[in-house]
């Protein structure tokens, strides 16, 4: 026991060593240690002090990026021949023309279009496509969570290569809290990937989400956390927050069907009291709430509960669009996944994809805030590029500039990061991408990203 105590004391001192060194307390520490026979710690402290000084004296890396055409995520028109100066992880200045400052490394993107790094606000890094139920069951039954986390790290890298510097990952599909680990490993620079906000496990009432249909004698994993009753859902929200959820996601509905009124209806999963308790508890803990809601009944129930974002939303009615616009609730349409899975799933899915297309144009007219989300993971990360979603938005009625904003500044607003991300402006994170052509003429250019900078570090440059 004593040994363990001594070890933990030493470990604590070593963890604090750079801080002590900074405060010039080496002498005090030295006295205590030498008398305790822990001279090795003194050496460590001195080393840490030197290392800290060295780090402090190295100036942050400075880049000057010459952009042939700049789409900053905010202005209505692009700026020609812009100069973006980046220092450390931040954008320092953006000017039309101008000379690079002394000491800055020049990155010549004068033949390219530079845009803010993209954001996808609906992904599943721990999933590899689930067109059929069997695809889904197989991943949960045959792949360990460590294996899935390794694939998630690979997926995060793919996303960054495609220009996505930010993602909101909306549940692990049975991989517990592994999204928090992926997010942390990226944030610590251990693996490349977008900066993330994560939802951990998501919620449904017992028995309303796969895996289902197995013998009751088998204990099979569930794709979400089951929670029941007002107290039960509050506890689940608290648990998820404890383990690192930035968002709480719940499944508002299932069993989507068209009825004689032409509206896509659905079965609502939680009672109104439960759904309200989820939202209230999440908001009390400073977390926002995303609701999977496809049918009009599920969307109406989620809106009544006070959620912050509606995911999928195929069955929106014009009354619900008005309510969303009035309350400032975001719609995340995830068209890419719908178009991709519809043929394989059959049934109502192709008709739902058509409905969503009609509703997209209507929602624009009603002033609904639309943020770009793909449901990547619902399709294989290796097969489709998330930037396909921009193309659908342009096809479905947005101008190319509106589509770009949905996946940059509007997405940043949804994430609560308007002051840090989503536009190319002084003071923001230096997250930039570049494409060779003009995405305002051909939106599919966004599927051919040639340059990626995240946090002021160049991750990819095929333009030199």
List residues near Zn ion by CB under 5 A. Answer: 375
Measured from the CB atom, the residue of 337 and 403 that comes closer to Zn ion is 337
Query: Could you give the maximum distance between any two Cα atoms of the chain, in Å?
Result: 85
Measured from the CB atom, the residue of 79 and 198 that comes closer to Zn ion is 198
Query: Minimum distance between the CB of residue 184 and Zn ion, rounded to whole angstroms?
Result: 22
3-state secondary structure of 55: helix
Query: Minimum distance between the CB of residue 199 and Zn ion, rounded to whole angstroms?
Result: 10
Query: Minimum distance between the CB of residue 161 and Zn ion, rounded to whole angstroms?
Result: 21
Query: Minimum distance between the CB of residue 202 and Zn ion, rounded to whole angstroms?
Result: 9
- Chain centroid offset of residue 206 CA: 27
Q: Give the contacts of 462 (CB within 8 A, at least 6 positions apart).
A: 450, 451
Query: Minimum distance between the CB of residue 415 and Zn ion, rounded to whole angstroms?
Result: 16
Query: Minimum distance between the CB of residue 101 and Zn ion, rounded to whole angstroms?
Result: 44
Which DSSP symbol is given to 383? T
Task: Using the CB atoms, write b or e for 77-115: b if 16+ within 10 Å.
Answer: ebbeebbbbbbeebbbebeeeeebeeebeebebeebbbb
Measured from the CB atom, the residue of 290 and 432 that comes closer to Zn ion is 290
Query: Minimum distance between the CB of residue 315 and Zn ion, rounded to whole angstroms?
Result: 16
Angle, nearest 10°, between helix axes 272-284 and 296-305? 50
The Cα 443–Cα 213 span in angstroms is 43
Measured from the CB atom, the residue of 297 and 375 that comes closer to Zn ion is 375
3-state secondary structure of 140: helix
Output the residue with the shortest Cβ distance to Zn ion. 375
Other C-beta atoms within 10 Å of 239: how many? 15
Task: Using the CB atoms, write b or e for 247-286: b if 16+ within 10 Å.
Answer: bbbbbbbbebeeeeeebbbbebbbeeebbbbbbbbbbeee
Measured from the CB atom, the residue of 290 and 412 that comes closer to Zn ion is 290
Query: Minimum distance between the CB of residue 123 and Zn ion, rounded to whole angstroms?
Result: 8
For 150, counting Cβ atoms within 10 Å of its Cβ (0-12 exposed, 13-18 middle, 19+ buried), the class is middle
Measured from the CB atom, the residue of 163 and 338 that comes closer to Zn ion is 338
Query: Minimum distance between the CB of residue 52 and Zn ion, rounded to whole angstroms?
Result: 44
Measured from the CB atom, the residue of 308 and 445 that comes closer to Zn ion is 308
Looking up tokens 């013998």 gives 215
For 289, counting Cβ atoms within 10 Å of its Cβ (0-12 exposed, 13-18 middle, 19+ buried), the class is buried
Query: Minimum distance between the CB of residue 170 and Zn ion, rounded to whole angstroms?
Result: 5
Measured from the CB atom, the residue of 253 and 375 that comes closer to Zn ion is 375
Peptide bond into 181 cis (omega under 30): no
Q: Are 240 and 180 in contact (CB under 8 A)?
A: no
3-state secondary structure of 149: helix
The closest alpha carbon to 209, from 220, 218, 200, belongs to 220
Measured from the CB atom, the residue of 314 and 375 that comes closer to Zn ion is 375
Measured from the CB atom, the residue of 135 and 425 that comes closer to Zn ion is 135
């Amino acid at each position: 026991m004593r040994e363990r105590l001594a070890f933990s004391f030493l470990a604590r001192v070593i963890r604090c060593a750079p801080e002590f060194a900074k405060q010039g307390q080496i002498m005090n520490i030295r006295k205590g240690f030498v008398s305790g026979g822990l001279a090795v710690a003194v050496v460590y402290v001195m080393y840490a002090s030197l290392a800290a000084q060295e780090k402090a004296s190295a100036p942050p890396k400075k880049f000057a990026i010459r952009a042939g055409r700049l789409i900053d995520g905010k202005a209505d028109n692009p700026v020609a021949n812009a100069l973006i100066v980046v220092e450390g992880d931040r954008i320092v200045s953006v000017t039309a023309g101008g000379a690079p400052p002394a000491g800055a490394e020049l990155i010549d993107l004068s033949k390219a279009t530079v845009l803010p790094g993209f954001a996808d606000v609906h992904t599943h890094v721990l999933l590899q496509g689930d067109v059929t139920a069997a695809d889904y069951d197989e991943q949960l039954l045959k792949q360990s969570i460590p294996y899935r986390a390794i694939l998630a790290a690979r997926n995060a890298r793919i996303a960054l290569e495609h220009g996505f510097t930010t993602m909101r990952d909306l549940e692990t599909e049975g991989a517990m809290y592994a999204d928090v680990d992926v997010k942390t490993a990226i944030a610590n620079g251990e693996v490349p990937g977008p900066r993330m906000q994560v939802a951990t496990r998501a919620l449904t009432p017992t028995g309303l989400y796969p895996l289902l249909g197995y013998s009751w004698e088998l204990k099979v994993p569930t794709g979400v956390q089951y929670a029941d009753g007002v107290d039960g859902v509050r506890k689940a929200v608290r648990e998820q927050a404890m383990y690192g959820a930035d968002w709480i996601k719940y499944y508002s509905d299932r069993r989507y069907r068209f009825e004689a009124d032409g509206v896509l209806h659905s079965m609502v999963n939680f009672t109104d009291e439960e759904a309200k308790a989820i939202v209230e508890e999440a908001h009390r803990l400073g977390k926002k709430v995303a609701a999977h809601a496809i049918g009009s009944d599920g969307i109406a129930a989620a809106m009544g509960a006070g959620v912050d974002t509606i995911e999928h939303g195929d069955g929106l009615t014009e009354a619900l669009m008005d309510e969303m616009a009035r309350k400032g609730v975001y719609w995340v349409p995830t068209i890419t996944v719908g178009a991709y899975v519809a043929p394989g799933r059959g049934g109502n899915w192709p008709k739902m994809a058509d409905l969503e297309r009609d509703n997209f144009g209507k929602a624009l007219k009603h002033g609904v805030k639309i943020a770009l989300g793909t449901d990547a993971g619902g399709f294989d990360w290796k097969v489709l590029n998330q930037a396909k979603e921009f193309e659908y938005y342009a096809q479905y009625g947005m101008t190319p500039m509106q589509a770009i904003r949905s996946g940059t500044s509007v997405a940043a607003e949804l994430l609560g990061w308007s002051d840090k991300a989503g536009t190319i402006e002084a003071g923001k994170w230096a997250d930039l991408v570049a494409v060779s052509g003009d995405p305002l003429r051909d939106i599919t250019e966004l599927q051919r990203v040639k340059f990626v900078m995240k946090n002021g570090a160049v991750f990819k440059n095929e333009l030199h």
